[in-house]
Amino acid sequence: MPFIAYGEAPDFEPKAFCCLMLNGKWKLHHFYNGKWERVNTGLPDDATECSPTAEWRGDKWRLSFIAGGFGDDRRYYLYRIDDLDNPIAEKVCLADVGFIWKNQIVYATRGGELSISGIQGTKNFHFNDVEWLYRVSYNPDNPHELLISGQKKGGYIFSWIFNPSKKYLYDLSDNGDVAYKAALFNGKCYYAKRGNGGFEDRHIVMAQNLRISELSYDDIVGNSQEANSPSILKMLQNFTNATFRWASAGFKIADDETLAKRQAICDTCQYWKASARLGMGKCLKCGCTSLKLKFDTEKCPVGKW
């Protein structure tokens, strides 16, 4: 699905991104000099790359996208590239859908809650009767509006505009068709229209008769703050104690094997919020970031490592 964002002021020249199939795998591309050019993410050839988003930050394009399905770890993660001219992909957190916009990280696993993490903390949202999430991006004309496509438990495909701060929810359709994986830009809507083949036999079209229908926010959306998170004072005490133990042991760093085992356990732990602290992660039991994993002297607060 393409994504279009505004560029540098004062002209705000837009730039388009999408994923195109190469040798049987979806790969990240950007539109440059009149044609689609591949973004060299540095990920392996057998990696699947999808769901690009982008924003102009100061003097460069910053990208985020979902990728995975390669190597021994077949899971998908949210990645970011801080400079399109120097594309080094950095893994942010475990996610099947999501994006980064300024200091905010939005992410979810395919069938999990949607988390929005920023400087002020993390909010988690669940959607009643929704079975799968297929795409989450944002509206460049109003970045506080999230664009969500997925599938309900009965098999119905949906496409929504979701604003968690102003608490409204809208359904998107075009002449009766679901505007699946919609991209909004400058008053226009582009979406993946289904063909005569399989589920993903789709081509990009511009909506001719876009219908935006209000849905009942309270009936569909539920939200909760982070649970079981220690206070700021307690987190400071935990960090101070951990640092003291580490210093007393001679600043010993965990070896690569130990670090990998710890990270694998945290990645699947219900208390770990990978996108918190701007990608450093946060344990909801002790409040520490992923930095703690490197301290040889430390232990998991619930005894998992």
Q: What sign has the CA pseudo-torsion 16, 119, 222, 153? A: positive
Tokens 């209000």 belong to: 214
**Is 196's pLDDT higher than 60?**
yes
Phi and psi dihedrals of 182, rounded to 5? -65, 145
Q: What is the pLDDT of residue 286?
A: 82
If one compares 62 and 244, the residue with the highest pLDDT of the two is 62
Q: Percent of the chain, pLDDT > 90?
A: 53
Radius of gyration of the chain (CA): 21
At 204 the pLDDT is 85
pLDDT reading at 125 higher than 90: yes
Residue of 43, 39, 56 whose CA lies nearest to 4: 56
Across the range 101-107, mean pLDDT stands at: 90
- d(C-alpha 305, C-alpha 299), whole Å: 6
Lowest mean pLDDT among 27-36, 207-216, 270-279: 270-279
Pick from 77-91, 106-120, 222-236, 248-262 the range whose average pLDDT is largest.
77-91
Report H helices in the chain. 217-220, 232-248, 256-267
Give the least confident one: 145-149, 187-191, 195-199, 283-287.
195-199
Convert the pLDDT of each residue in 152-195 to its tens digit. Answer: 998 999 999 999 999 999 999 999 999 999 999 999 999 988 76
User: Of 65, 76, 71, 84, whose CA–CA distance to 27 is shortest?
Assistant: 65
Give burial (CB, 10 Å; 0-12/13-18/19+) of 209: exposed
Asked whether 239 and 36 are in contact (CB, 8 A), the reply is: no
Is 60 exceeded by the pLDDT of residue 15?
Answer: yes
Least confident among 30-44, 111-125, 127-141, 265-279: 265-279
Q: Which single residue is written with the structure tokens 């997925």?
A: 150
Q: Could you read off the pLDDT of 61-92 as tens digits, one per residue? A: 999 999 999 988 889 999 999 999 999 999 88
Overall size of the chain counted in residues: 305
* Phi-psi sector, 232: left (phi>0), alpha (psi -120 to 50), beta: alpha
Looking at the DSSP bridge assignments, the partners of residue 76 are 68
Query: Band of the pLDDT at 278, cuts 50, 70, 90?
Result: low
Residue 74 CB contacts under 8 Å (≥ 6 apart), including other chains: 68
20: helix, strand or coil: strand
Handedness of CA 159, 163, 166, 167 (dihedral sign): positive
When the pLDDT of each residue in the chain is averaged and rounded to a whole number, the result is: 87
Task: Provide, rounded to the nearest whole percent, the portion of the chain with pLDDT above 70.
Answer: 90
90-94, 96-100, 116-120, 125-129: segment of lowest average pLDDT: 116-120
Residue 55 has pLDDT above 70, yes or no: yes
How does residue 284 score in pLDDT terms, banded at 50, 70 and 90? Answer: confident
User: How is residue 73 annotated by DSSP?
Assistant: -
Tokens of 84: 């399109």
Are 130 and 169 a contacting pair, CB within 8 Å?
Answer: no
Q: Write down the domain spans for the chain.
A: 3-224, 227-294
Nearest to 76 by CA among 121, 129, 112: 112
